[in-house]
Chain A
């Protein structure tokens, strides 16, 4: 099971904050974006276009990062903390 989290503006696009995805083995970021596209095509496009940052288990990741069963993947729009 992979936990996928959406933050800030991406919650409205994905129409959810979090989802659990069942996987049989490790998957690529492309495969994950394909799975997400099935329920949210726009979110899938955003991931494929590299318009956002991605973290896996709270560490920054990239398109080549392999996702394993039990991982927590988060999709992060540009940050705007501070003031």
Chain B
């Protein structure tokens, strides 16, 4: 699991810097005119339950492969210049970063649509699972909110 900003697809235990990730993507092309980011963070309340901690598990190799497929399809179908996707695994405290998608393009419109499509697709096809710890115990989340 790499923690440098060189790789555009990463699944890692460590936190990431949104600023560093955006700066890394800005270096991809001098033709970038718009950048859209999606940052998912750990929220305290889920279905009326107070969450103490989240924990993410993934299927190594397959999850990275799916994220790369999403990246490639976003570039192809949404005419963006590039995209990076970073997802954390392991324990996540409330308010911490979970997932970051950075879409860079010549214009804003395609980066908005690419980013929105990518997070929906990530939730649909990427073998990553979330376990919530509440006052009532631990539960694996089986539906995407």
Contact = CB atoms under 8 A, between A and B. Distances in A.
Q: Which size bracket describes the interface of B in this complex?
A: 20 to 34
Contacts of A81: 56, 58, 63, 87, 99, 122-123, 126-130
Contact of A55 (B58, B62, B140): B62
Contacts of B119: 82
A83 interface: yes
B78 interface: no
B61 A8 contact: no
B130 A74 contact: no
Scoring A78, A79, A81 by chain B CB atoms within 10 A of each residue's CB, the highest score goes to A81
B28 interface: no
Nearest to A83: B40
A75 B125 CA distance: 14
Mostly, the B contact residues are mixed
B134 to A, nearest CB: 15
Interface residues of A, number: 15
B99 A80 contact: no
A82 B127 CA distance: 11
B124 A79 contact: yes
A80 to B, nearest CB: 4
A52 B33 CA distance: 42
Nearest to A55: B62
7 contacts: A8-B129, A8-B131, A77-B142, A78-B142, A80-B141, A81-B63, A81-B122
